[in-house]
Amino acid sequence: MSQSTLRPIDPGGLRVGIIMDGNGRWAQARGRPRVAGHRAGARVARRIVEAAPDLGISVLTLYAFSSDNWRRPTREVRSLMRLFRAYLRTEVRTCVERGVRLRILGRRDRLSASLLAAIRAAEAATSGGQKLLLRVALDYSARDAIVEAAMRACGRERLTRESFAELLGAAMNLGEASSDLDLLIRTGGEQRLSDFLLWESAYAELVFSPRMWPDFTPAELEAAVREYHRRERRFGRVPGESGREAWHEVCATGGDRE
C-alpha cells in the first residue's frame, strides 16, 4: 500500500499538535543535566501517545527538534539525536501492537545515516497502523517548509489552498497533503508557536500549560481536549448564521454605500 492511500482509522478524529517545552528547566530545577530532562520527556511522550486514541485523537504531532535547535550546544544535540534513534528503535514494537503509524516530518538531509535508517525502519514497520498517526517533527521549520512548498509551486498557473497543502505535505515529508490542526498544546509556560505548523494552525485552538513537559500527564492531555470541546470554533462566522458569503451582495452590488 502506498503512503498516500493509508488513512488513520478515524478520519474525523482530533488532530493535535504538542510543543513539548520545559525539559531543560525541569532538569536544571533538579540539579541534573538538560539531557536528563529530555530522557524524562521521551518517557512522557510514550504515555501521551498511549493515551491519545482513547481521547478521540487520530493524528498527534510532537515537536521534537526544530531546525533552530541545531544552535544548541553540540553535546546536547548529540544526546538528543541518540535519544531520537533509541526512541524509534524501542517504540516500534509498541507502536505496531497499538496500531500506531509513525511518521517523521521535517528535513532529512542533515540527519545521520544511522538515524535515517532507524526512521525508515520505524516508518516501514508501523505503516499498517490505523488507530493513531503519530508524527514526530525532527529538523522541522514551518517557515522553511512553506518556502519549499512555494518554490515547488513556482511556474504553476493555478494554486489553491488544497494544492498548496499537497506541496506543503511533500515539503515536510508527510507522505500526504498537509492538514489542519484542531488543537495545539504547548507546555513549559511560554505562549508562542516557535515555527511549528504555522500553516496548519490557522484555526487551531491553543492551549498553554504551565507544566514542564516531563511533568505533563495524560490527565492534562484529557483536560486540554475537554477545553477544546468547550470552545466554539467559528472560522470567522457568526454563530447561528448560515455562513453564506456576503461579499457579492455587499461589494459587487454597491451594498456598502450609506
Site for ligand FPP contains 87 (CB under 6 A): yes
Fill in the per-residue mask, 174 to 193: x = in contact with ligand FPP (CB under 6 A), - = not in contact: --------------x-----
One residue of 9, 10, 25, 163 binding ligand FPP per CB under 6 A: 25
* CB contact at 8 A, 21 and 213: yes
One residue of 55, 57, 115, 136 binding ligand FPP per CB under 6 A: 136
Site for ligand FPP contains 137 (CB under 6 A): no
- Smallest gap from Cβ 95 to ligand FPP, in A, equals 12
Identify the helix (H) or strand (E) that includes residue 86.
helix 74-98
- Phi then psi for residue 177, to 5 deg, are -65, 150
Site for ligand FPP contains 199 (CB under 6 A): no
- Smallest gap from Cβ 108 to ligand FPP, in A, equals 16
Q: C-alpha cell of 117?
A: 535508517
One residue of 51, 55, 62, 183 binding ligand FPP per CB under 6 A: 62
Site for ligand FPP contains 164 (CB under 6 A): no
Catalytic residue among 10, 69, 144, 215: 69
Site for ligand FPP contains 16 (CB under 6 A): no
* CB contact at 8 A, 108 and 148: no
Q: Is 173 a catalytic residue?
A: no
Site for ligand FPP contains 57 (CB under 6 A): no
DSSP state letters, 104-160: EES--TTS-HHHHHHHHHHHHHTTT--SEEEEEEEEE-HHHHHHHHHHHHTT-S---
DSSP state letters, 22-64: -HHHHHHHTT--HHHHHHHHHHHHHHHHHHTGGGTEEEEEEEE
Site for ligand FPP contains 194 (CB under 6 A): no
Q: Is 21 a catalytic residue?
A: yes
Q: Which residues are catalytic?
A: 21, 69
